[in-house]
A and B are shown apart, each in its own frame.
Chain A
Amino acid sequence: MSPVSGPNRRVLVAAGPIVVVLLILPWVVEPYQTVLLSYGLVFAIAALGFNLLLGYTGLLSFGHSAYFGVGAYAVAFTVKYLKVGSMELLLLAGILASALVAAVFGLVCVRYTRIFFGILTLALSQVLWSLAFKFFWVTGGTDGLRVPTPTLLGVSIDAGQDKMAFLAHRYYYYVLVLFVAATAVMWVIVHSPFGKALQAIRDNETRAEFVGVQVWHYRWVAFLISGVFTGLAGALWVPLNGLTTPDILVWNFSGEIVFFTVLGGFKTFAGPIVGAVVFNYLKTFAVGYTVYWQMFLGVVLVTLVLALPTGIMGMVARLSQKWSQKWKRTPAP
């Protein structure tokens, strides 16, 4: 019996065509669109990490900008102070730094749940933001830190190559590979015995204790993994943006992470991915269309919460169920 069976195989079958489409996309669409999608995929990695806490462990963090920001600033610092140009090393720096911060913050936060957890994560992320903001001689303050294009697998950007072309091809594929890998790893984690234990904690903390699951240990590990995924996303984001500013540490960005996870549907595995990509388009569109883009996003969020609490994936599931029932009924004489 192969370990991938039944519904698991169905997931692979569904994911295959999507990956193929993502692979050929840069050859079909404008470079701008590819870069936009890269942003979406990066946010999707962050959302996957975030949703390990919200969707699978039942903890709503309002401070995930901290890990994204730490990942990003770790890259910027490593470039600036250690003169490292290899993206792989920069990713390593981002992952290590976010793991460290998540490990420490997690130790504090996982002792609480519900609103206290939310406020604590928020307060701690604000500590980092205010430090990045005030220690401008280290962090560049609101001007941020400029980060030159790194080398990918030891290969640097071709002399004279357009940055946009680099981002739309080589870097896009780099992001795509890491996105697929991150998604696969997260998928295994949530379907592992450990993942089941997290869901058990989410559903019923007391009972989880009474089947022998040491609740806060598991919450802490989940927090750590969540922080690392978000930190990886932050590190990947830097070359796309070319600049690291305190904006990615401030709590509004944490709110956006929550936003796109709920937009996609936090009760499904794919929801946060879909939500992150859609949100990125939505925000880009809104920002280009009106100075009042925040209001537009606010209206979307309010409507979503009131009318579509299960998010995009929840709606898709409901519609497909309806259609399949209809389809089954029609051939009957």
Chain B
Amino acid sequence: MDTLLIHILNSLLYAAVLFLIAGGLSLIYGVMHIVNLAHGNLYAFGAFVAAWTVGLLVGGGTPTPVLYLVLLAGPVVAAALGAVLEPTLLRPLYQRPEEYQLLITFGLLLILEDLIRLIWGPYPLSVSSLFEGMGSLNIGESIYPTYNLAVIVVGGLAAVGLWAFIYRTQFGVVLRATSQNMRMAQAMGVNVNRVYVQAFTLGCFMAGLGGAIVVPQQGAVLGMGVDALILAFVVVVIGGLGSLEGALVGALMVGVVRELGINLFPEVELAVLYLMAAVVLLIRPAGQFGRA
């Protein structure tokens, strides 16, 4: 019973982070119809910035609760990066075939990958004190890190917050209108350029947040972005490109399957995930919640 609960918590933990990454990817695709291959790097960027900033302050007398808030530097910088990249690199390409949009984000992936290495060097950054600082809980016979629960809560809050943002605010209405029919929205006076940059920034913020909250637990490692991107792909393919509900369901499914995979058949864990994506595409090309 306890082990089952722990497996469930592990699945949720993984799903929470994946939702943040994949949700951002899907949001960007939903609004702008661009698959951002550099999305994983923005997640990695968020992780490195968070780890670095906390690292500067840790041991300097900053009270620990403040350090958890300092993690937010990650998503803020990732969002700022997004706000710069969209108008400069992506905007000139909206009229061009999608091959070019995909390629430029691939170029961006290569650049950001090395930019992280250039700034922070090849070694992982870690702020495990934040992870250990929260202690752990007893669940029956086993102990479970409190920080992991916090990540699950943050993921849940992000999902709720995002849902409220998109379905309950004026900005959300504009965002959804633009996503459904860009020209119509434009004709109705929506400043599409502004919506695009906002959506892209929001998507990058989510990726950065995902990066920041995994840092205390896993640290910031080179290559983490590319790995995350591929898993985010699996999530959005399962859930449906462009759908936030889909990203949530997809993240939960991937979380569960991965937890099962790690415990039952570790060799083919990744292969199973990719195959799952391929099978879903075959049965439902638009995913569970996607629009074809």
Interface residue ranges, A against B (CB under 8 Å): 54, 60, 62, 108, 111-112, 114-116, 118-120, 122-124, 126-127, 130-131, 133-135, 251-252, 255, 258-259, 262, 291-295, 297-302, 304-306, 309
Known: A119-B281, A123-B277, A127-B274. A295 touches B118 (CB 8 A): yes
List the 4 closest pairs (A to B, CB-CB), nearest first. A298-B110, A301-B107, A295-B114, A298-B111
- Is residue B275 within 8 Å, beta carbon to beta carbon, of the partner chain? yes
When the two chains form the complex, which single residue of A123, A127, A131, A259 contacts B281, counting CB atoms closer than 8 Å?
A: A123
Total B residues in contact with A, Cβ cutoff 8 Å: 43
When the two chains form the complex, which single residue of A118, A130, A255, A306 contacts B92, counting CB atoms closer than 8 Å?
A: A306
B104 to chain A: which residues have CB within 8 Å? 301-302, 305-306
B101 to chain A minimum Cβ distance, whole angstroms, is 9
A126 to chain B: which residues have CB within 8 Å? 230, 270, 274
A60: nearest residue on chain B (CB-CB)?
B99
- Which B residues from 103 to 147 make CB contacts under 8 A with A? 103-104, 106-115, 117-118
User: Is A299's CB under 8 angstroms from B107's CB?
Assistant: yes
When the two chains form the complex, which single residue of B98, B114, B274 contacts A124, counting CB atoms closer than 8 Å?
A: B274
User: Is A301's CB under 8 angstroms from B100's CB?
Assistant: no
Known: A120-B278, A135-B267. A309 touches B107 (CB 8 A): no
- Main DSSP-derived SS at the A contact region: helix
Q: Tell me which of B8-16, B181-189, B233-241 binds A.
A: B233-241
B209 to chain A: which residues have CB within 8 Å? none
User: Is A54's CB under 8 angstroms from B99's CB?
Assistant: yes
A204 to chain B minimum Cβ distance, whole angstroms, is 15
B273 to chain A minimum Cβ distance, whole angstroms, is 8
B29: nearest residue on chain A (CB-CB)?
A115
Bound-complex Cα distance A293 to B111 (A): 9
- Is residue B6 within 8 Å, beta carbon to beta carbon, of the partner chain? no
- Is residue B285 within 8 Å, beta carbon to beta carbon, of the partner chain? yes
B89 to chain A: which residues have CB within 8 Å? 302, 306
- Which B residues from 272 to 287 make CB contacts under 8 A with A? 274-275, 277-278, 281-282, 285
Known pairs A123-B277, A305-B93 / 12 extra A-B pairs, C-beta < 8 Å: A115-B35, A115-B102, A118-B102, A119-B35, A119-B237, A123-B233, A123-B278, A127-B274, A135-B267, A292-B117, A293-B114, A305-B100
User: Is B267's CB under 8 angstroms from A127's CB?
Assistant: no
Bound-complex Cα distance A108 to B281 (A): 9
User: Is B102's CB under 8 angstroms from A295's CB?
Assistant: no
Known: A119-B233, A119-B237. A299 touches B111 (CB 8 A): yes
Known: A127-B278, A294-B113. A302 touches B107 (CB 8 A): yes
User: Is B226's CB under 8 angstroms from A292's CB?
Assistant: no
Bound-complex Cα distance A56 to B35 (A): 23
B108 to chain A minimum Cβ distance, whole angstroms, is 7
Bound-complex Cα distance A230 to B285 (A): 27
B278 to chain A: which residues have CB within 8 Å? 108, 120, 123-124, 127
B102 to chain A: which residues have CB within 8 Å? 60, 62, 115, 118
24 pairs of residues in contact across A and B, judged by CB atoms under 8 Å: A115-B241, A116-B285, A118-B35, A119-B233, A120-B281, A124-B274, A126-B230, A127-B271, A130-B269, A133-B270, A134-B266, A134-B269, A252-B226, A255-B109, A259-B103, A259-B106, A291-B117, A295-B110, A295-B111, A295-B114, A295-B115, A298-B111, A298-B113, A301-B107
- Is residue B194 within 8 Å, beta carbon to beta carbon, of the partner chain? no
A324 to chain B minimum Cβ distance, whole angstroms, is 28
Pick from A262, A291, A299, A305 the residue with the most CB of B within 10 Å.
A305
A135 to chain B: which residues have CB within 8 Å? 267
Bound-complex Cα distance A120 to B93 (A): 24
- Is residue B268 within 8 Å, beta carbon to beta carbon, of the partner chain? yes
Known: A108-B278, A134-B270, A302-B107. A123 touches B237 (CB 8 A): yes
Known: A124-B274, A294-B110. A134 touches B118 (CB 8 A): no
Bound-complex Cα distance A255 to B92 (A): 21
B282 to chain A: which residues have CB within 8 Å? 108, 111
B111 to chain A: which residues have CB within 8 Å? 294-295, 298-299, 302
Bound-complex Cα distance A295 to B269 (A): 31
A130 to chain B: which residues have CB within 8 Å? 268-271, 274
A159 to chain B minimum Cβ distance, whole angstroms, is 42
A259 to chain B: which residues have CB within 8 Å? 103, 106
User: Is A309's CB under 8 angstroms from B96's CB?
Assistant: yes
Pick from B112, B267, B281 the residue with the most CB of A within 10 Å.
B281
User: Is B230's CB under 8 angstroms from A262's CB?
Assistant: no
